[in-house]
Protein backbone atom coordinates (compact mmCIF):
# COMPACT_ATOMS: atom_id res chain seq x y z
CA UNK A 1 0.00 0.00 0.00
CA UNK A 2 1.17 3.52 -0.82
CA UNK A 3 0.11 7.12 -0.15
CA UNK A 4 0.96 8.86 -3.42
CA UNK A 5 3.45 11.13 -1.66
CA UNK A 6 6.62 10.77 -3.72
CA UNK A 7 9.72 10.23 -1.58
CA UNK A 8 12.39 10.75 -4.20
CA UNK A 9 13.26 10.70 -7.87
CA UNK A 10 15.18 7.71 -9.15
CA UNK A 11 17.19 7.41 -12.34
CA UNK A 12 16.70 4.61 -14.83
CA UNK A 13 19.94 2.68 -15.26
CA UNK A 14 18.67 0.25 -17.86
CA UNK A 15 15.62 -1.44 -19.35
CA UNK A 16 16.37 -4.88 -20.72
CA UNK A 17 13.57 -6.15 -22.93
CA UNK A 18 13.23 -9.93 -22.90
CA UNK A 19 11.19 -12.35 -25.03
CA UNK A 20 8.63 -12.26 -22.22
CA UNK A 21 8.57 -9.10 -20.13
CA UNK A 22 11.56 -6.95 -19.20
CA UNK A 23 13.98 -6.15 -16.40
CA UNK A 24 14.26 -2.60 -15.14
CA UNK A 25 17.12 -1.24 -13.02
CA UNK A 26 16.80 2.02 -11.11
CA UNK A 27 19.39 3.95 -9.10
CA UNK A 28 18.23 5.56 -5.86
CA UNK A 29 20.12 5.85 -2.60
CA UNK A 30 16.91 6.77 -0.75
CA UNK A 31 14.76 3.89 -2.01
CA UNK A 32 17.47 1.31 -1.36
CA UNK A 33 18.80 2.51 2.00
CA UNK A 34 16.67 0.02 3.98
CA UNK A 35 15.26 -2.09 1.17
CA UNK A 36 15.32 -5.87 1.28
CA UNK A 37 14.92 -8.38 -1.52
CA UNK A 38 11.20 -8.75 -2.20
CA UNK A 39 10.14 -5.35 -0.85
CA UNK A 40 7.55 -3.37 -2.79
CA UNK A 41 8.59 -0.06 -4.33
CA UNK A 42 6.20 2.11 -6.32
CA UNK A 43 7.75 3.28 -9.61
CA UNK A 44 5.72 5.91 -11.50
CA UNK A 45 2.67 4.56 -9.72
CA UNK A 46 3.39 0.88 -10.41
CA UNK A 47 3.99 -1.49 -7.50
CA UNK A 48 7.16 -3.46 -8.30
CA UNK A 49 9.14 -6.07 -6.37
CA UNK A 50 12.70 -4.98 -5.61
CA UNK A 51 15.35 -7.50 -6.66
CA UNK A 52 19.16 -7.62 -6.82
CA UNK A 53 19.63 -4.62 -4.52
CA UNK A 54 23.22 -3.43 -4.75
CA UNK A 55 25.29 -0.30 -5.17
CA UNK A 56 22.40 2.06 -4.47
CA UNK A 57 20.21 0.53 -7.16
CA UNK A 58 17.57 -2.16 -7.48
CA UNK A 59 16.13 -4.24 -10.28
CA UNK A 60 12.52 -5.21 -10.96
CA UNK A 61 10.99 -7.66 -13.39
CA UNK A 62 8.16 -6.31 -15.55
CA UNK A 63 5.51 -8.81 -16.56
CA UNK A 64 3.88 -8.57 -20.01
CA UNK A 65 0.71 -7.30 -18.31
CA UNK A 66 2.69 -4.48 -16.67
CA UNK A 67 4.22 -3.49 -20.00
CA UNK A 68 0.80 -3.53 -21.67
CA UNK A 69 -1.04 -1.45 -19.06
CA UNK A 70 1.60 1.12 -18.04
CA UNK A 71 4.22 3.44 -19.53
CA UNK A 72 7.18 1.60 -17.98
CA UNK A 73 8.10 -0.01 -21.29
CA UNK A 74 8.88 3.48 -22.63
CA UNK A 75 11.58 4.15 -20.05
CA UNK A 76 15.21 4.56 -21.08
CA UNK A 77 18.53 5.05 -19.30
CA UNK A 78 18.83 8.46 -17.69
CA UNK A 79 15.10 9.11 -17.33
CA UNK A 80 13.68 10.18 -13.97
CA UNK A 81 11.01 8.12 -12.22
CA UNK A 82 8.87 8.83 -9.16
CA UNK A 83 9.61 6.48 -6.26
CA UNK A 84 7.76 5.66 -3.05
CA UNK A 85 8.46 2.86 -0.62
CA UNK A 86 5.50 0.93 0.79
CA UNK A 87 3.58 2.48 3.66
CA UNK A 88 4.57 1.63 7.24
CA UNK A 89 1.71 1.08 9.76
CA UNK A 90 3.11 3.94 11.84
CA UNK A 91 3.27 6.47 8.99
CA UNK A 92 0.81 9.29 8.38
CA UNK A 93 -1.49 8.74 5.40
CA UNK A 94 -0.92 12.16 3.86
CA UNK A 95 -2.17 11.40 0.35
CA UNK A 96 -4.79 8.74 -0.38
CA UNK A 97 -4.81 4.95 -0.44
CA UNK A 98 -2.95 3.63 -3.48
CA UNK A 99 -2.34 0.02 -4.42
CA UNK A 100 0.19 0.61 -7.16
CA UNK A 101 -2.11 -1.23 -9.56
CA UNK A 102 -2.35 1.03 -12.58
CA UNK A 103 -5.81 1.23 -14.19
CA UNK A 104 -4.65 2.66 -17.48
CA UNK A 105 -2.51 5.20 -19.29
CA UNK A 106 -3.58 8.77 -19.98
CA UNK A 107 -2.24 11.41 -22.37
CA UNK A 108 -1.00 14.80 -21.15
CA UNK A 109 -3.24 17.29 -22.98
CA UNK A 110 -2.09 20.53 -21.36
CA UNK A 111 0.66 21.85 -19.10
CA UNK A 112 0.13 25.46 -18.10
CA UNK A 113 2.07 27.59 -15.64
CA UNK A 114 -0.19 29.45 -13.23
CA UNK A 115 2.52 31.60 -11.68
CA UNK A 116 4.76 31.46 -8.61
CA UNK A 117 5.74 27.86 -9.35
CA UNK A 118 2.20 26.49 -9.57
CA UNK A 119 1.10 24.46 -12.60
CA UNK A 120 -2.13 23.21 -14.16
CA UNK A 121 -2.02 19.81 -15.88
CA UNK A 122 -4.82 18.24 -17.91
CA UNK A 123 -4.82 14.56 -18.80
CA UNK A 124 -7.12 12.73 -21.20
CA UNK A 125 -8.07 9.44 -19.59
CA UNK A 126 -9.24 6.17 -21.20
CA UNK A 127 -12.99 5.96 -21.70
CA UNK A 128 -13.40 3.16 -19.13
CA UNK A 129 -11.95 5.36 -16.35
CA UNK A 130 -14.13 8.41 -16.94
CA UNK A 131 -16.83 7.23 -14.52
CA UNK A 132 -14.35 7.28 -11.61
CA UNK A 133 -13.47 10.97 -12.02
CA UNK A 134 -15.09 13.10 -9.33
CA UNK A 135 -14.53 16.81 -8.72
CA UNK A 136 -12.39 17.24 -5.57
CA UNK A 137 -11.82 13.49 -5.54
CA UNK A 138 -8.41 11.84 -5.81
CA UNK A 139 -6.41 10.45 -8.70
CA UNK A 140 -2.83 9.22 -8.95
CA UNK A 141 -0.79 10.39 -11.94
CA UNK A 142 2.54 8.56 -12.26
CA UNK A 143 2.08 7.57 -8.63
CA UNK A 144 1.43 11.10 -7.32
CA UNK A 145 -1.66 11.62 -5.17
CA UNK A 146 -3.50 14.62 -6.63
CA UNK A 147 -6.86 16.31 -6.11
CA UNK A 148 -9.16 16.59 -9.10
CA UNK A 149 -9.63 20.30 -9.88
CA UNK A 150 -11.83 19.97 -12.98
CA UNK A 151 -13.54 17.28 -15.03
CA UNK A 152 -14.68 17.82 -18.60
CA UNK A 153 -15.72 14.56 -20.20
CA UNK A 154 -12.64 12.38 -20.44
CA UNK A 155 -10.31 15.21 -19.43
CA UNK A 156 -9.26 15.57 -15.81
CA UNK A 157 -7.25 18.53 -14.53
CA UNK A 158 -5.18 18.94 -11.38
CA UNK A 159 -3.05 21.73 -9.96
CA UNK A 160 0.54 21.18 -8.88
CA UNK A 161 2.05 23.18 -6.05
CA UNK A 162 5.72 24.22 -6.39
CA UNK A 163 6.92 21.35 -4.18
CA UNK A 164 5.21 18.70 -6.34
CA UNK A 165 6.47 20.30 -9.54
CA UNK A 166 10.04 20.45 -8.24
CA UNK A 167 10.26 17.02 -6.61
CA UNK A 168 8.49 14.76 -9.14
CA UNK A 169 8.95 13.89 -12.79
CA UNK A 170 5.89 15.87 -13.91
CA UNK A 171 8.19 18.85 -14.48
CA UNK A 172 9.79 16.77 -17.24
CA UNK A 173 6.51 15.86 -18.92
CA UNK A 174 5.36 17.42 -22.18
CA UNK A 175 2.03 17.48 -24.01
CA UNK A 176 1.44 14.12 -25.64
CA UNK A 177 3.36 12.16 -23.01
CA UNK A 178 1.75 9.03 -21.58
CA UNK A 179 1.24 8.88 -17.81
CA UNK A 180 0.12 6.07 -15.50
CA UNK A 181 -3.26 6.50 -13.84
CA UNK A 182 -4.77 4.88 -10.76
CA UNK A 183 -8.29 5.88 -9.78
CA UNK A 184 -9.74 5.74 -6.28
CA UNK A 185 -10.04 2.08 -5.22
CA UNK A 186 -12.99 2.93 -2.95
CA UNK A 187 -15.02 4.11 -5.94
CA UNK A 188 -14.40 0.80 -7.70
CA UNK A 189 -15.57 -1.24 -4.71
CA UNK A 190 -18.67 0.92 -4.27
CA UNK A 191 -19.50 0.52 -7.96
CA UNK A 192 -19.26 -3.27 -7.74
CA UNK A 193 -21.36 -3.49 -4.58
CA UNK A 194 -24.07 -1.22 -5.96
CA UNK A 195 -24.24 -3.23 -9.18
CA UNK A 196 -25.35 -6.26 -7.15
CA UNK A 197 -28.20 -4.51 -5.37
CA UNK A 198 -31.56 -5.62 -6.68
CA UNK A 199 -34.16 -2.89 -6.27
CA UNK A 200 -37.73 -3.94 -5.49
CA UNK A 201 -40.17 -3.67 -8.38
CA UNK A 202 -42.60 -0.79 -8.29
CA UNK A 203 -46.29 -1.68 -8.34
Active site residues: 2, 40, 47, 49, 63, 101, 147
| Alpha carbon distances (Å) from 57 to 1, 24, 28, 42, 169 | 21, 10, 6, 14, 18
Length of the chain in terms of residues written: 203
Pairwise CA distance, residues 164 & 189, whole Å: 29
> In a 10 Å sphere around its CB, with 0-12 CB exposed, 13-18 middle and 19+ buried, how is residue 55 labelled?
exposed
| CA-wise closest residue to 124 among 105, 106, 141, 138 | 106
Beta carbons of 162 and 97 less than 8 angstroms apart:
no
Beta carbons of 146 and 9 less than 8 angstroms apart:
no
Which are the contacts of 79, defined by CB distance < 8 A and separation ≥ 6?
11, 12, 169
**What does DSSP say about strands 80-85 and 22-27: parallel, antiparallel, or unpaired?**
unpaired
DSSP state, 171?
A: G
Amino acid sequence: MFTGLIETLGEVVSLEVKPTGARLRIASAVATEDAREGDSICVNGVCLTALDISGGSFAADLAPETLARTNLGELAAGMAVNLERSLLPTARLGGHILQGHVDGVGIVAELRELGEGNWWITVEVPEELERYLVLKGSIAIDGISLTVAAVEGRRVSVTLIPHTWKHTNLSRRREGDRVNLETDVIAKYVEKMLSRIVLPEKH
